[in-house]
């Protein structure tokens, strides 16, 4: 159940982050979930649970997308 929750939460957070900061990352479900889960780990864990954790997860996902954009433009 925990993995399913992370996948659903990652999809929601990743979709919001993609809407805020479009990138060249493939637009399938798996990359969106990966961005959301990475953003949740990077930004959500320091803020804890609840609304602050959700906002932190979105901020973390936007940072992940921004870093991906910077890294892909450098190549």
- 13-52: per-residue pLDDT in tens? 999 998 998 877 777 888 888 888 988 888 878 887 788 8
Q: Where are the domains of the chain?
A: 2-74
Nearest in space to 60 (alpha carbons), one of 37, 40, 33? 40
Give the pTM: 0.85
| Helix (H) / strand (E) containing 39 | helix 29-39
DSSP 26: -
Please give the Cα distance from 17 to 69 (Å, whole number): 13
Please give the Cα distance from 10 to 4 (Å, whole number): 10
């Amino acid at each position: 159940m925990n993995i399913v929750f992370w996948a659903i939460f990652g999809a929601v957070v990743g979709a919001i982050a993609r809407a805020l900061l479009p990138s060249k990352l493939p637009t399938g479900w798996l990359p969106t979930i990966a961005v959301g889960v990475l953003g949740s780990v990077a930004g959500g864990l320091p803020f804890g649970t609840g609304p602050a954790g959700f906002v932190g997860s979105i901020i973390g996902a936007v940072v992940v997308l921004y870093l991906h954009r910077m890294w892909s433009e450098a190549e």
